[in-house]
Structure 1
Amino acid sequence: MNTKFRLQKHLKKWICLLLLFSLTAMASFAQGDLIKIQGIVSAKDSPVAGVTISIKNGKALGTSDEKGEFKFDVASSTTLVFKYIGFKEKEVVLKEYRPDAKGLYILAVSLEPTKESALDEVVVVGFGTQKKASLVSSIASVNPKELKGPTSNLTTMLAGRIPGMIAYQRSGEPGADNASFFVRGLGSFGSGKTDPLILIDGVESTQTDLARLQPDDIASFSVLKDATAAAVYGARGANGVLLITTKVGSAGKTQFMARAEGKISTNSRSIELTDNITYMNLANEAVLTRGLSKPTPYTQSKIENTIRHTNPYLYPDNDWIDMLIKDYTFNQGFNLSASGGGERARFYVSGTYNVDNGILKKLGTNNFNNNIKLINYSLRSNVDLQLTKSTQASVKLYGQFDDYNGPIGSGADHFRAALWSNPVQFPAVYPKEYMPYIQHPLFGGYVVIDDSAPQGVLLTNPYANLVRGYQQYNRSTLMPQVEIKQNLDFLTKGLNFRMMGYAKRYSYGQTARSYNPFYYTGRLDPSDNSIQLSVINDGST
């Protein structure tokens, strides 16, 4: 029994060793011995970064780095495939190479550019892509790199980059700086729609959606300019169509891209005004030369005291533009993206954060910031899934958020008020020591009485208008999107099926806080040469 037991024990041991040897041999036969390879990819004697390297009919290994170099451990029987846009695909059979003294395989791969003409260039059209040689419509494509500039608003970068497009910008104020543009001119006047149809990843979008789109996220930008766009999009495409697709991931190692920038913004044009002494003399001259019966608005005593700067509160000499408007402002922008994946799943994710400031000065009269500040940040995720050899799914998620803070009214209103307000009738604000028991600011004011307004008209104080309050709004857009593409070549060559659905959630909330200023006028008390203030209004106007 003992001898039999020992024989069985040894027999089991030999069977296990035989099975282990067989499995090792099978694995070695299936994969071959692993070898170490490294090399560099070049084109015209220059290294090429981002070249996709994969095993023929197998998985992707990764991409070449910024120096064009790569390093992998692969089976000795492997055939490598090198792919890069604009260059011919190249295969490298490792069996044709010999290792060096250290057993390392050194590869030098040279890529040849494709000899495609401009007619072979692929552009995005209504449903898919098409070669320029087969186009019968007018389509202009824009390189996304040309859309990068010192602005966080994409619509301001379209002018001059698309033939035939008319584009102009009414205002540079953050939050109200969208440029208007026409692809086919003005097809209608009045309340009719003149703006083109904007499609981002196949979804109809607004000008604000386009404005917040980042050039870093754009893969292609095409414009359908002629009437053939109506054949696909109907009457809505009569004013032209903007077709924009965002980036998707590619198989290989995860690649990161980052951008940080600082931008200085200023007025495109500053209006130079005459000095206040000349202003008063010309106002008097205008009354005298027209033979009007009313007295001149400014006495010679007032003009002389203003020249001598006798008292800045009795004889003010205001420069409203200099008092309320800054020469420049500093803006910031940040973008971070990552892309990669394998043969079955690929991804592209990005995040953007922009800060745009206005050029209104922060005045110390109140404890809040009355300058314009727009913070917008966005998140984008594009995931492509290869479900089967003929079925592809795309899942996209986009989120856009705006946080705005600014004065009551628009920045343009305050700029116009500073430009047109009377600079010599009243000061911006009187010092608190004139009425120390009053808690609110003592804004300067003046009432004009004439035949057209016997009750009197209170002149605008642009300083008081600017600091009397502020407003805030928060705006957000969330949009998930799912798309299915099915290749139907088994039915008819070139036949495809595409289905897309999305949901869009838009949210907007606004808050405004303000008060009605008290306006005062000052006069000189001859008994002690002090300034006495009297209220013009009770704060209700």
Structure 2
Amino acid sequence: MRKLKCLLLFFLLPLFLFAQQKINGKVTDENGLPLSGATVAVVGNSKGVTTNPDGRFEITVPTLKSKLTISFIGFTKQEVALNGRSTINVQLQSEASAMADVVVVGYGTVRKKDVTGAVSSVKFSEKEAAQITSVDKLLQGRAAGVEVNSGSSAPGGAINVRIRGLSTISGGTEPLYVVDGVIVNTATQDNTNSLKVGTNPGNSYQESQNGLTGINPQDIESIEILKDASATAIYGSRGANGVVLITTKQGRVGKGKVVFSSTTELAQVSKKMPMLDGYEYANFRNQLSAINSQSPVYDLKKVEPVDWQDDIFRTGITTNNRFAFSGRNEKSNYYLSFGFLNNNGIIPTTGVKQGDLRFNLTQDVTDRLRISTKTSLLYRRNSMTQSTEQLGSAGNSIIRQILSKEPIRDTTSTTVINIDEEVEGPRVWLKEYDDITKEFRLLQSLSAEYKLSKAFSIRALGGGDVRFKDRHRWFGKDLSQGKLTNGQLGVSGLKSYAYNLEAMLLFNKSYGKHRFNGTTGITYDKSDVQNTYTVNEDFFTEELRIYGMGTGAKVYPQFEDFTQSSIFSALARMVYSYNDKYIVTATGRYDGTSRFADGQKWGFFPSLAVAWRASEEDFIKNLHLFSTLKPRVGYGQTGNQAISPYSTLSRYRAAFYSTGNGTVAVGAAPALIANKNLTWETSSQVNVGLDAGLFNDRLTFSIDVYHKKTKDLLQNFSIPTSTGFSTIAANKGSIENKGVELTLQGLIIDKKWKWSLGGNISFNKNKIVELGQPEGVFGNNRLKAFVGTTVAGGSEFSTYANIFAEGYPVGMFYGFQTKGIYQTADVTSNPLKFFGTPLKAGDIYFVDKNGDGNITDLDKDFIGNPNPKFTYGINSSVSYGDLSLNVFITGVQGNQIANGNKLKMENTGTGTANGTAGLNITRNAYYNAWSSSNVGGTMPRLGYYNGNFTDRIVEDGSYMRLGLVTLGYRLPVSKLRFVSAVDVFVTGKNLFVVTNYSGFDPEVNSFTNETQRRGVDWSSYPNTRSVVFGLNVTF
């Protein structure tokens, strides 16, 4: 029997040999260049062959109906059917090119040509990323519809980002940030102000800090901004303010590489305020004394001037050094980076010291299973000063003191010797104030994707954002707050744990001309936040400062606030394409949130968008004009649930009361009246867009027109005081935003000289359509409105700046209108009165809106608009060989700023009856002051004081800024064995600003992320002009 089997095998062997056939072919890249070492294998057989140096291969296959897989590191794997062919040539597409044709969207990616919504990709170079320390600042001017401004230019200061205008009057305004699939918490989660307890609680404003720590711009591979509802509806109740998707770097094709980058930046204050110098100030004070029949204050021969701006502002030096290691092979892909930042501000006590590390790893465990982990670690020490302040008259801010403190020493008067060392002097702020924050942050994601088949795969992701912050604020005894308390120390802490889990089923399949790309799944997000705060006062020593919590005699109880919230969601998206011409995208998300009461927890957020790739039609191709032409239209709904997690519950707050023996007791008191009907604000948006390209896409442009309406606005409504409260939160009213966005990019010259030029411009107009408030008297008008938050206490700006009125843009300025200076001829037997006091010649001439001859609050009216008409950005890149020049310009047009600093710097009799307050003023306020010999003076008479909000301090906030100019050169390194590239560059940042604004800088919003104090400059930290020297070395 054994011999019979061998004989049978011998006769059948030729048949097997005949059945197997040899085929040959060639593998090239997309440019036609051969790929040596590419793997070619028969589907179902793990063994294969590799291509020779010419890219050629020969392989034995079972039949000519077999299929081959061709793969190469850094290129997209292809599967090819032989279909009877014995010779086959294959062209692979590099993963970099493939990624350029793919756009990251919520919970997945789509082909760029299949995008139907308004999605902007933010482009920036490695050099630009190395010079910017904050992700949100990286967005400025680089995407249409995105407005960015600084709450403070201090190192680590908060930055405000808005996408397509303002759609809320009390909810959160920040977009949703998603980093590698992990939703990150932003600045709205900042530490509680510890000084809301203690002596004079609430007197001290706490500077807001940047919330996007832990995301280094140099680690970012791509940023996509989802703007319209058809793109953001996949994020449901958190998508109303737009979504920013950030993808970090991975290893690239080729051998592993090491990159070292280093920058050194020298920064100085970009503008000085034109204040009086010491001699001018002495003359001014003596003149005031003469006006009030008093003796001169200063002996001009013995005046010793001090310029506080020169004395305090310094050259801030910033160093940023970073190493990055990356590489990949057929199975693994890794990216490791770490760096150290030392950012010193222009005020000596301000700065950031930071160390961070990122590690990304992707591993193909099998041909079907891929696992990825991405980790970011950060430690940060942020030292701040107090610039924006709460009390208008106390001078409780170093910026206000730098501008207003007497610029003089008088060696003959014991009352003013060493005037800078008195309470609240600029140098005292350097010596006696600390605001130190220490932060640790971990961003982590772990994902696994398994291919069930060629069409289906499943993906699971778990991510977390863990954040610990401790903030210590010390007021020494020579500062007003510390003098009252014999030293005061406030300590606050933040512990935040946020994580999200998601499970997705992915589908990607083509059936002839029909192509489907689907995503469906569930997500669960949870956030636990703990805030603690306490205050200690009456210190026997100041030596320990922020480390001396145990040395104070008056310890307030430590308070802890805990909040928990969670969201459970089911979502789905389907992108359908027919013949690569007609695309339909449908999404839906069903959200359930713990922030609302039963009956209001769940909501559905759908969207639908269509696009037509008209450039693929023969009649368009025959025009030989458009390489891309794609009109698109979309509609969707999104929500905003950024309210306190317990707003629908009746709850209690801590209450403090004195026992009468000098101690403080703590009790509990009702905090609010619950409204169980609260729900999210819902935005509906229609977007019509067009993407076009000419000359093989050397010139591209896109235009989007949108209309966005937000209903169920969360706001406070008045209720009878018999309830024990004055207001209750409820959902009423609506806001609309209408706008047009245009983006243009062109490769003008593409020879040895290369020049690309691009830009974007965005127009937005918002209006409160309905408010739901009862009609009332507001100044000279009857309006359905409510007023914003009081800007400050004290004698200046102790009123609101903004009003929210039905039929008007959000947050209009509301105050007194004026018409110049009251002249002698205007003083009659019945002069105009200001709250009953007759005006004098040289006073501000107020407009009597109701004609009763007496200026009161009933004469207030609209005096300005903080919302810009349009924003824009311009970029230009020129290169010749290894030399390059990049220019970046940003601008804002049509907004106005309430320059509250003028209420100090232009009131020559600030806060006193006799006009000798002892505070410095601007040169304009002094030299252009009205007098009997200068009746044409545009400024009030010397000694005049009025701290009210008028149109005299409302200024044009438009500007055009030359933001970056970078000159770079790539050094020749052919003779260096281990170095593949060396780039050196020098950059000028904020070289000049074209503006009519008289303050430090028009890009300002002192009360960051506050919707009800908008467009106000209240002694904000000034911007800087700097030069950066940089080096990038690739090994």
TM-score band by shorter chain is: 0.5 to 0.7
Conserved 8 A contact 1:518-1:539:
no
Corresponding letter in the other structure for 1:215? P
Change (3 A) 1:539 1:248: closer
Change (3 A) 1:227 1:43: closer
Residue 131 of structure 1 is matched in structure 2 by 111
Equivalent residues in 2 for 1:68-217, closer than 5 Å:
121-145=101-125, 147-148=128-129, 150-176=131-157, 178-189=158-169, 191-207=170-186, 208=210, 210=212, 212-217=214-219
Aligned partner (choices 407, 411, 419) of residue 423 of structure 1:
407
Note the C-alpha offset of 1:347.
1.6
Note the C-alpha offset of 1:506.
1.5
Residue 351 of structure 1 is matched in structure 2 by 338
Q: Percent identity?
A: 25
1:414 aligns with 2:375: no
Change (3 A) 1:240 1:261: same
Note the C-alpha offset of 1:54.
4.2
Aligned partner (choices 296, 302, 306) of residue 305 of structure 1:
302
Residue range with higher mean Cα deviation, 138-147 or 162-171? 138-147
Change (3 A) 1:507 1:446: closer
Note the C-alpha offset of 1:499.
1.4
Q: Aligned partners of 1:281 and 1:84: how far apart in 2?
A: 74
Note the C-alpha offset of 1:443.
8.3
Q: Which ranges of structure 2 fall in alignment gaps of 5 or more residues? A: 1-27, 61-68, 80-90, 187-209, 390-396, 481-539, 543-1035
Conserved 8 A contact 2:251-2:328:
yes
1:398 aligns with 2:376: yes
Residue 246 of structure 2 is matched in structure 1 by 244
- SS of residue matched to 1:234: helix
Query: 1:66-119: per-residue Cα shift (whole Å, max 9, x none)?
Result: xxxx99xxx999999766679999xxxxxxxxxxxxxxxxxxxxx9999x9999
Note the C-alpha offset of 1:421.
0.7
Note the C-alpha offset of 1:262.
1.0
Change (3 A) 1:248 1:113: closer
Query: 1:365-391: per-residue Cα shift (whole Å, max 9, x none)?
Result: xxxxxx323111111111112223222
Query: 1:211-259: per-residue Cα shift (whole Å, max 9, x none)?
Result: 5422331122100011223420112111110011111235653222221
Conserved 8 A contact 2:74-2:254:
no
Change (3 A) 1:211 1:480: closer
Conserved 8 A contact 1:394-1:483:
yes
Conserved 8 A contact 1:264-1:329:
yes
Conserved 8 A contact 1:339-1:347:
yes
Change (3 A) 1:303 1:130: same
Q: Aligned partners of 2:409 and 2:99: how far apart in 1?
A: 69
Corresponding letter in the other structure for 1:463? R
Change (3 A) 1:270 1:43: farther
Residue 358 of structure 2 is matched in structure 1 by 380
Q: Aligned partners of 2:353 and 2:420: how far apart in 1?
A: 38
Q: Aligned partners of 1:118 and 1:392: how far apart in 2?
A: 19
Conserved 8 A contact 1:260-1:334:
yes
Aligned Cα root-mean-square deviation (Å): 4.6
Q: Aligned partners of 2:451 and 2:308: how far apart in 1?
A: 67
1:342 aligns with 2:329: yes
Note the C-alpha offset of 1:294.
5.1
- SS of residue matched to 1:417: helix
Q: Aligned partners of 1:44 and 1:261: how far apart in 2?
A: 36
Q: Aligned partners of 1:255 and 1:477: how far apart in 2?
A: 27
Note the C-alpha offset of 1:122.
1.6
Conserved 8 A contact 1:251-1:343:
no
Query: 1:15-34: per-residue Cα shift (whole Å, max 9, x none)?
Result: xxxxxxxxxxxxxxxxxxxx
Change (3 A) 1:139 1:420: same
Number of residue pairs aligned between Structure 1 and Structure 2: 398
Conserved 8 A contact 2:277-2:305:
no
Change (3 A) 1:87 1:281: farther
Conserved 8 A contact 2:266-2:317:
yes
By percentage of residues, which structure has more helix?
A: 1
1:483 aligns with 2:447: yes
- SS of residue matched to 1:382: strand
Change (3 A) 1:376 1:518: closer
Note the C-alpha offset of 1:261.
1.3
Q: Aligned partners of 1:388 and 1:84: how far apart in 2?
A: 18
Q: Aligned partners of 1:168 and 1:539: how far apart in 2?
A: 41
Query: 1:249-292: per-residue Cα shift (whole Å, max 9, x none)?
Result: 3565322222111111222222233322222223444565xxx6
Conserved 8 A contact 2:117-2:228:
yes
Corresponding letter in the other structure for 1:461? G
- SS of residue matched to 1:148: helix
Change (3 A) 1:320 1:87: farther
By percentage of residues, which structure has more strand?
A: 2
Note the C-alpha offset of 1:426.
5.9
Residue range with higher mean Cα deviation, 251-260 or 333-342? 251-260
TM-score by length of 2: 0.34
Corresponding letter in the other structure for 2:119? I
Corresponding letter in the other structure for 2:466? R
Q: Aligned partners of 1:388 and 1:220: how far apart in 2?
A: 28
Conserved 8 A contact 1:265-1:330:
yes
Change (3 A) 1:59 1:220: farther
- SS of residue matched to 1:504: strand
Query: 1:269-321: per-residue Cα shift (whole Å, max 9, x none)?
Result: 22233322222223444565xxx64526635xx12332xxxxxxxxx422222
Conserved 8 A contact 2:357-2:376:
yes
Conserved 8 A contact 2:387-2:400:
no
Residue 458 of structure 2 is matched in structure 1 by 497
Note the C-alpha offset of 1:509.
2.3
Residue range with higher mean Cα deviation, 196-205 or 333-342? 333-342
Q: Which ranges of structure 1 fall in alignment gaps of 5 or more residues? A: 1-40, 62-69, 90-110, 307-315, 362-370, 431-441, 448-457, 520-537
Q: Aligned partners of 2:99 and 2:445: how far apart in 1?
A: 33
- SS of residue matched to 2:245: strand
Residue 461 of structure 1 is matched in structure 2 by 425
1:271 aligns with 2:273: yes
Conserved 8 A contact 1:118-1:132:
no
Change (3 A) 1:473 1:420: same
- SS of residue matched to 1:383: strand
Q: Aligned partners of 2:433 and 2:213: how far apart in 1?
A: 28
Aligned partner (choices 308, 326, 331) of residue 320 of structure 1:
308
Q: Aligned partners of 1:60 and 1:347: how far apart in 2?
A: 26
Q: Aligned partners of 2:253 and 2:148: how far apart in 1?
A: 39
Q: Aligned partners of 2:219 and 2:467: how far apart in 1?
A: 21
Change (3 A) 1:329 1:421: same
Change (3 A) 1:411 1:153: farther
Conserved 8 A contact 1:144-1:215:
no
Conserved 8 A contact 1:468-1:517:
yes
Q: Aligned partners of 1:278 and 1:131: how far apart in 2?
A: 67
Change (3 A) 1:270 1:151: farther
TM-score by length of 1: 0.62
Residue 295 of structure 1 is matched in structure 2 by 294
Q: Aligned partners of 1:120 and 1:510: how far apart in 2?
A: 43
Note the C-alpha offset of 1:516.
1.7
